[in-house]
Structure 1
Protein backbone atom coordinates (compact mmCIF):
# COMPACT_ATOMS: atom_id res chain seq x y z
CA UNK A 1 0.00 0.00 0.00
CA UNK A 2 1.33 3.44 -0.96
CA UNK A 3 1.71 5.71 2.05
CA UNK A 4 3.25 9.03 2.95
CA UNK A 5 5.76 10.00 5.59
CA UNK A 6 7.46 13.21 6.66
CA UNK A 7 11.19 13.67 6.33
CA UNK A 8 13.16 16.50 7.89
CA UNK A 9 16.75 17.20 6.97
CA UNK A 10 17.90 18.72 10.24
CA UNK A 11 19.96 21.92 10.73
CA UNK A 12 23.25 20.02 11.15
CA UNK A 13 22.87 18.25 7.81
CA UNK A 14 21.71 21.39 5.99
CA UNK A 15 24.64 23.41 7.42
CA UNK A 16 27.10 20.71 6.34
CA UNK A 17 25.76 21.00 2.75
CA UNK A 18 24.64 17.35 2.71
CA UNK A 19 20.98 17.96 1.80
CA UNK A 20 21.49 17.04 -1.86
CA UNK A 21 23.15 13.77 -0.89
CA UNK A 22 20.23 12.85 1.35
CA UNK A 23 17.69 13.76 -1.34
CA UNK A 24 19.62 11.64 -3.86
CA UNK A 25 19.54 8.68 -1.44
CA UNK A 26 15.78 9.07 -1.06
CA UNK A 27 15.23 9.02 -4.81
CA UNK A 28 17.60 6.10 -5.34
CA UNK A 29 15.61 4.16 -2.74
CA UNK A 30 12.34 4.63 -4.59
CA UNK A 31 10.80 7.50 -2.64
CA UNK A 32 8.76 10.08 -4.54
CA UNK A 33 9.12 13.57 -3.09
CA UNK A 34 5.60 14.96 -3.35
CA UNK A 35 6.28 18.18 -1.40
CA UNK A 36 9.45 19.93 -0.26
CA UNK A 37 10.41 23.26 1.26
CA UNK A 38 13.14 24.89 3.28
CA UNK A 39 12.05 26.59 6.50
CA UNK A 40 13.65 27.99 9.64
CA UNK A 41 11.61 27.11 12.71
CA UNK A 42 11.32 29.47 15.65
CA UNK A 43 11.90 27.95 19.07
CA UNK A 44 8.12 28.11 19.67
CA UNK A 45 7.37 26.29 16.40
CA UNK A 46 9.92 23.58 17.25
CA UNK A 47 8.34 23.21 20.70
CA UNK A 48 4.91 22.80 19.11
CA UNK A 49 6.17 20.24 16.59
CA UNK A 50 7.94 18.15 19.25
CA UNK A 51 5.19 18.57 21.89
CA UNK A 52 4.99 14.76 22.30
CA UNK A 53 8.46 14.96 23.91
CA UNK A 54 7.63 17.84 26.28
CA UNK A 55 8.23 15.78 29.43
CA UNK A 56 11.47 14.23 28.17
CA UNK A 57 14.81 15.54 29.48
CA UNK A 58 16.08 16.30 25.95
CA UNK A 59 13.07 18.47 24.93
CA UNK A 60 14.74 21.85 25.47
CA UNK A 61 18.01 20.96 23.76
CA UNK A 62 16.14 19.30 20.86
CA UNK A 63 13.91 22.30 20.24
CA UNK A 64 16.86 24.70 20.54
CA UNK A 65 18.82 22.62 18.02
CA UNK A 66 15.89 22.34 15.61
CA UNK A 67 15.51 26.14 15.61
CA UNK A 68 19.20 27.01 15.17
CA UNK A 69 19.16 26.96 11.37
CA UNK A 70 17.17 26.05 8.27
CA UNK A 71 15.66 22.61 7.76
CA UNK A 72 14.29 20.91 4.67
CA UNK A 73 10.93 19.23 5.12
CA UNK A 74 9.59 16.74 2.60
CA UNK A 75 6.58 14.54 2.12
CA UNK A 76 7.78 11.18 0.83
CA UNK A 77 5.57 8.64 -0.86
CA UNK A 78 6.01 4.96 -1.74
CA UNK A 79 4.80 1.56 -0.63
CA UNK A 80 5.68 1.05 3.05
CA UNK A 81 7.14 4.58 3.15
CA UNK A 82 7.23 4.88 6.94
CA UNK A 83 9.01 1.59 7.61
CA UNK A 84 11.33 1.90 4.61
CA UNK A 85 12.37 5.44 5.54
CA UNK A 86 13.04 4.44 9.14
CA UNK A 87 15.38 1.70 7.83
CA UNK A 88 17.13 4.12 5.49
CA UNK A 89 17.57 6.68 8.30
CA UNK A 90 19.26 4.17 10.61
CA UNK A 91 19.38 4.07 14.39
CA UNK A 92 18.79 7.33 16.29
CA UNK A 93 22.40 7.21 17.52
CA UNK A 94 24.64 7.41 14.42
CA UNK A 95 27.30 5.33 16.19
CA UNK A 96 24.78 2.46 16.35
CA UNK A 97 23.40 2.95 12.83
CA UNK A 98 24.10 0.44 10.08
CA UNK A 99 26.63 1.27 7.38
CA UNK A 100 25.10 3.08 4.44
CA UNK A 101 22.24 4.64 6.40
CA UNK A 102 21.68 8.40 6.39
CA UNK A 103 22.49 8.81 10.07
CA UNK A 104 25.66 6.72 9.83
CA UNK A 105 26.84 8.81 6.87
CA UNK A 106 25.80 12.29 8.00
CA UNK A 107 24.93 12.26 11.73
CA UNK A 108 27.38 13.12 14.49
CA UNK A 109 25.51 12.19 17.69
CA UNK A 110 22.14 11.11 19.07
CA UNK A 111 20.68 14.64 18.74
CA UNK A 112 22.58 15.91 15.69
CA UNK A 113 21.64 12.88 13.65
CA UNK A 114 20.93 14.53 10.28
CA UNK A 115 17.28 13.54 9.72
CA UNK A 116 13.86 12.99 11.26
CA UNK A 117 11.15 10.66 10.03
CA UNK A 118 7.63 9.87 11.14
CA UNK A 119 7.39 6.73 13.30
CA UNK A 120 3.75 5.80 12.57
CA UNK A 121 0.81 6.60 10.30
CA UNK A 122 -0.67 8.82 13.01
CA UNK A 123 2.61 10.72 13.44
CA UNK A 124 2.98 11.08 9.67
CA UNK A 125 -0.51 12.58 9.37
CA UNK A 126 0.16 15.08 12.18
CA UNK A 127 3.65 15.98 10.98
CA UNK A 128 2.69 16.40 7.31
CA UNK A 129 -0.22 18.64 8.30
CA UNK A 130 2.08 20.66 10.56
CA UNK A 131 4.27 21.71 7.63
CA UNK A 132 2.08 21.41 4.53
CA UNK A 133 -1.43 22.16 3.38
CA UNK A 134 -3.22 20.21 0.68
CA UNK A 135 -2.34 22.78 -2.02
CA UNK A 136 1.38 22.21 -1.48
CA UNK A 137 1.36 18.45 -2.03
CA UNK A 138 1.59 16.99 -5.52
CA UNK A 139 -1.29 14.61 -6.16
CA UNK A 140 -0.56 11.17 -7.61
CA UNK A 141 -0.95 10.60 -11.34
Structure 2
Protein backbone atom coordinates (compact mmCIF):
# COMPACT_ATOMS: atom_id res chain seq x y z
CA UNK A 1 0.00 0.00 0.00
CA UNK A 2 1.13 3.49 -0.74
CA UNK A 3 1.24 6.32 1.80
CA UNK A 4 -2.19 7.91 2.11
CA UNK A 5 -4.08 4.68 1.42
CA UNK A 6 -7.29 4.51 3.49
CA UNK A 7 -7.78 1.28 5.45
CA UNK A 8 -11.01 -0.29 6.71
CA UNK A 9 -12.87 -3.33 5.36
CA UNK A 10 -15.82 -3.57 7.74
CA UNK A 11 -18.46 -0.88 7.64
CA UNK A 12 -22.12 0.00 7.83
CA UNK A 13 -23.97 3.26 7.59
CA UNK A 14 -26.71 5.42 6.18
CA UNK A 15 -27.17 5.81 2.44
CA UNK A 16 -26.60 9.42 1.38
CA UNK A 17 -26.81 8.91 -2.39
CA UNK A 18 -27.94 6.18 -4.79
CA UNK A 19 -28.04 5.76 -8.54
CA UNK A 20 -31.32 5.95 -10.41
CA UNK A 21 -31.40 2.16 -10.95
CA UNK A 22 -30.69 1.37 -7.29
CA UNK A 23 -33.28 -0.36 -5.12
CA UNK A 24 -31.87 1.52 -2.13
CA UNK A 25 -33.23 4.86 -0.96
CA UNK A 26 -31.71 7.79 0.90
CA UNK A 27 -31.38 7.22 4.66
CA UNK A 28 -31.54 3.40 4.34
CA UNK A 29 -29.35 1.78 7.00
CA UNK A 30 -27.07 -0.73 5.27
CA UNK A 31 -24.16 -3.07 5.80
CA UNK A 32 -21.64 -4.20 3.18
CA UNK A 33 -19.60 -7.40 2.98
CA UNK A 34 -15.82 -7.28 3.17
CA UNK A 35 -15.55 -8.21 -0.52
CA UNK A 36 -17.50 -6.44 -3.24
CA UNK A 37 -18.44 -8.70 -6.12
CA UNK A 38 -19.79 -8.26 -9.66
CA UNK A 39 -22.77 -10.58 -9.17
CA UNK A 40 -22.63 -11.69 -12.80
CA UNK A 41 -19.62 -13.98 -13.30
CA UNK A 42 -19.75 -17.79 -12.83
CA UNK A 43 -18.20 -17.50 -9.34
CA UNK A 44 -20.80 -14.99 -8.17
CA UNK A 45 -23.71 -16.87 -9.76
CA UNK A 46 -22.56 -20.04 -7.98
CA UNK A 47 -22.61 -18.23 -4.62
CA UNK A 48 -18.81 -18.10 -4.43
CA UNK A 49 -18.31 -14.34 -4.80
CA UNK A 50 -15.26 -14.42 -2.54
CA UNK A 51 -13.43 -16.41 -5.22
CA UNK A 52 -14.11 -13.86 -7.98
CA UNK A 53 -10.77 -12.99 -9.56
CA UNK A 54 -11.53 -9.24 -9.83
CA UNK A 55 -13.17 -8.78 -6.43
CA UNK A 56 -12.82 -5.43 -4.72
CA UNK A 57 -11.69 -5.48 -1.10
CA UNK A 58 -12.13 -2.07 0.56
CA UNK A 59 -9.03 -1.10 2.50
CA UNK A 60 -6.85 -3.43 0.43
CA UNK A 61 -7.49 -3.29 -3.33
CA UNK A 62 -9.27 0.06 -3.14
CA UNK A 63 -9.66 2.88 -0.63
CA UNK A 64 -11.26 1.67 2.58
CA UNK A 65 -14.02 2.57 4.98
CA UNK A 66 -12.07 4.69 7.48
CA UNK A 67 -13.40 7.69 5.58
CA UNK A 68 -16.33 10.04 5.81
CA UNK A 69 -18.00 8.46 2.75
CA UNK A 70 -17.64 5.08 1.01
CA UNK A 71 -18.86 4.22 -2.47
CA UNK A 72 -20.29 0.71 -2.86
CA UNK A 73 -20.85 -0.52 -6.42
CA UNK A 74 -23.88 -2.64 -7.31
CA UNK A 75 -27.01 -3.12 -5.21
CA UNK A 76 -26.29 -6.72 -4.25
CA UNK A 77 -23.24 -5.61 -2.26
CA UNK A 78 -25.50 -4.05 0.38
CA UNK A 79 -27.83 -5.63 2.93
CA UNK A 80 -30.35 -3.92 5.21
CA UNK A 81 -28.87 -3.26 8.61
CA UNK A 82 -30.63 -4.71 11.67
CA UNK A 83 -32.44 -1.68 13.06
CA UNK A 84 -31.93 -2.43 16.75
CA UNK A 85 -28.14 -2.70 16.54
CA UNK A 86 -25.61 0.13 16.60
CA UNK A 87 -23.64 0.83 13.39
CA UNK A 88 -20.40 -0.03 15.24
CA UNK A 89 -21.67 -3.49 16.11
CA UNK A 90 -23.28 -4.08 12.72
CA UNK A 91 -20.06 -3.23 10.84
CA UNK A 92 -18.42 -6.47 11.96
CA UNK A 93 -21.26 -8.60 10.62
CA UNK A 94 -20.17 -8.12 7.01
CA UNK A 95 -16.99 -10.11 7.61
CA UNK A 96 -17.17 -12.13 10.79
CA UNK A 97 -20.79 -13.26 10.79
CA UNK A 98 -20.85 -13.95 7.05
CA UNK A 99 -17.64 -15.99 7.39
CA UNK A 100 -19.15 -18.09 10.19
CA UNK A 101 -22.35 -18.60 8.18
CA UNK A 102 -20.44 -19.55 5.02
CA UNK A 103 -18.31 -22.07 6.88
CA UNK A 104 -21.36 -23.70 8.46
CA UNK A 105 -23.63 -23.74 5.41
CA UNK A 106 -21.12 -23.96 2.59
CA UNK A 107 -17.77 -25.41 3.54
CA UNK A 108 -18.99 -27.99 6.05
CA UNK A 109 -22.43 -28.45 4.42
CA UNK A 110 -23.80 -28.93 7.95
CA UNK A 111 -27.47 -29.84 8.28
CA UNK A 112 -29.88 -29.36 11.20
CA UNK A 113 -29.69 -32.28 13.61
CA UNK A 114 -26.00 -33.00 12.98
CA UNK A 115 -23.34 -32.66 15.65
CA UNK A 116 -20.82 -29.89 15.25
CA UNK A 117 -17.81 -28.82 17.31
CA UNK A 118 -16.83 -25.15 17.13
CA UNK A 119 -13.93 -24.29 19.41
CA UNK A 120 -11.22 -21.72 19.89
CA UNK A 121 -10.90 -18.11 21.03
CA UNK A 122 -12.29 -15.04 19.37
CA UNK A 123 -15.43 -13.48 17.99
CA UNK A 124 -15.51 -15.66 14.86
CA UNK A 125 -15.86 -18.76 17.04
CA UNK A 126 -18.58 -17.15 19.16
CA UNK A 127 -20.46 -16.22 15.99
CA UNK A 128 -19.97 -19.75 14.67
CA UNK A 129 -21.42 -21.18 17.86
CA UNK A 130 -24.37 -18.76 17.83
CA UNK A 131 -25.04 -19.34 14.13
CA UNK A 132 -24.91 -23.11 14.49
CA UNK A 133 -27.26 -23.03 17.49
CA UNK A 134 -29.71 -20.71 15.73
CA UNK A 135 -29.78 -22.95 12.65
CA UNK A 136 -30.42 -26.14 14.64
CA UNK A 137 -26.95 -27.68 14.51
Q: Same fold (TM over 0.5)?
A: no
Give the TM-score of the pair, scaled to structure 2: 0.25
Normalising to structure 1: TM-score of the pair?
Answer: 0.25
**Which has the higher relative contact order, 1 or 2, with Cα contacts under 8 A spaced 6 or more apart?**
1
Structure of higher CA gyration radius = 2
